[in-house]
Structure 1
Amino acid sequence: MDDKEPEVSMTTLPDRPNTALLVIDVQKGVVAGAPRRDEVIANIDTLIGAARAQDVPVVWVQHSDDDLEQGSADWEYVEELVRLDTEPLVHKNYPDSFEATELESVLAQRGVGRVVVTGAQTDVCIRSTLHGAFARGYDVTLVGDAHTTEDLTAYGAPGPELVMAHTNLYWSFQSAPGRRAGTVDTAKVTFEAADAD
């Protein structure tokens, strides 16, 4: 893995020069027992602080479905991460954070053409949102040490550490016309495309 960010913002979305931090589904029931839970949450918290200090939009996404009932204790965000009232909260029912939500309009209102993706779960909502954003024309940076997933080996899936490592690897080589993708660790995240290597 190169562990570098995209060279410059090349989004296909016109007049969208800004970057936003997406915090996806870091909910009690989603990350309970997830590998590196505390480390991942601490890294996300670091990124939230950096984004706020630079006036970069922080957009929160919260999932609900039959197994994660809205309003339940498991549905709530973890206590370690605190959303400000001024930061948008997008509710979703599908893995892709853009699907049947207001996320696109939230980002458009803020002139966002690049998203920095964090949260859970790696092999479901993170992966779906990465591809959903990229297919919609966004530059998409995955923070390699700021996402996690549950152990689904009982269903034939690889172990969670392998799932996270593979997602980091393949996203670092993702490409498409007029857009950039990449995987980078928390310490190397920049919210200004001009500063990226």
Structure 2
Amino acid sequence: MTTLNDRPNTALLVVDVQNGVVDGSHERDTVVANVAALVEKARQAEVPVVWVQHENDGMKKGSPEWDLAPELTPVPAEPLVEKRYGDSFEDTTLESVLAELGVGHLVVSGAQTDACIRSTLHGAFARGYDATLVSDAHTTEDLSNWGAPPPAQVIAHTNLYWSHQTAPGRTAGTVSTEEVAFASGA
């Protein structure tokens, strides 16, 4: 029910599942396996998979830290969006990629829950997209030494508040990897 005209399609958005982001993250192997399962489901249903990679001083493009987790392999036809800010839309090609694909609904997975995932979800929603967070396919590192709650609580809280997010003409919510059912060709 997106507010974007002529955007009936869904895409899987895989945000920052890079070595320099997910190494050491909460339940890393399980989350990366869930992301891989989502990618496979999307491909089988011919739903676009859009990859996002973050670059900063600690993760230079082309470095091992910048590379996607080795369990994940994009195919050449799948778009890659490079970013430097938390919101995957900010100063990137993401909006034009999604417009070209006719996408008005995003299924969001990746890292970091309390940074790029939250920013991207809110960025999508504010821009008129329907946004579904995959509850067991996002993760974060432990930032409790700096006052953040433990990672499991950050993830649970994000799942809780996103499952109750509302706005006129848009839908939000959370589903598990198992519950994701992409409509073929959507």
Residue 112 of structure 2 aligns with an amino acid whose one-letter code is Q
2:29 maps to a residue whose letter is: D
SS of residue in 1 equivalent to 2:178: helix
Alpha-carbon distance in 1 for matches of 2:42, 2:60: 30
Report the Cα offset of residue 109 of structure 1.
0.3
1:20 paired to 2:16: no
Query: In structure 1, what residue type is equivalent to 2:140?
Result: T
1:142-176 Cα distance to aligned partner (Å, 9 max, x none): 00000000000111000000000000000000000
Q: Matches of 2:116 and 2:33 in 1, distance apart?
A: 20
Aligned residues of 2:45 and 2:183 also touching (Cα < 8 A): no
Which protein has greater RCO, CA pairs closer than 8 Å, 6+ apart?
1
Report the Cα distance in structure 2 between the residues aligned to 1:189 and 1:79, rounded to whole angstroms. 23
- State the SS of the aligned residue for 1:188: coil
Stretches of structure 1 lacking an aligned partner (at least 5 in a row) = 1-9
Q: Which residue of 2 aligns with 1:139?
A: 130
SS at match of 2:171: strand
What does 1:148-187 correspond to in 2, within 5 Å? Answer: 148-187=139-178
1:98, 1:192 → 2: CA distance? 25
Residue of 105, 123, 131 corresponding to 1:114 = 105
Encode CA deviations 1:50-99: one digit per residue, 9 max, x unaligned.
Answer: 10011100000000012222221111111100000010000000000000
Offset of residue 44 of structure 1: 0.7
Amino acid at match of 1:104: E
Shift of 1:192: 3.4
Unaligned residue ranges in structure 2 (runs of 5+): none
SS in structure 2 at match of 1:186: coil
SS in structure 1 opposite 2:132? strand
Give the AA of the match of 1:97: S
RMSD of aligned alpha carbons: 1.0
The one of 63, 67, 74 equivalent to 2:65 is: 74
Distance 2:134 2:6 in 1: 25
What fraction of aligned residue pairs are identical, expressed as a percent? 65
The equivalent residue for 1:54 is: 45
When the two structures are superposed, what TM-score results if normalisation uses the length of structure 2?
0.97
Does 2:117 correspond to 1:126? Answer: yes
Output the CA distance in 1 between the equivalents of 2:150 and 2:46.
37
The letter of the residue matching 1:16 is: R
SS at match of 1:107: helix
2:27 is matched with which residue: 15, 24, 36?
36
Whole-Å Cα distance in 2 between the matches of residues 153 and 68 of structure 1?
22
Distance in 2, Cα, partners of 1:32 & 1:110: 31
Instruction: Indicate which of 87, 95, 105 corresponds to 1:96.
Output: 87
Number of residue pairs the alignment of both structures matches:
184
- Structure 1 length normalisation: TM-score? 0.92
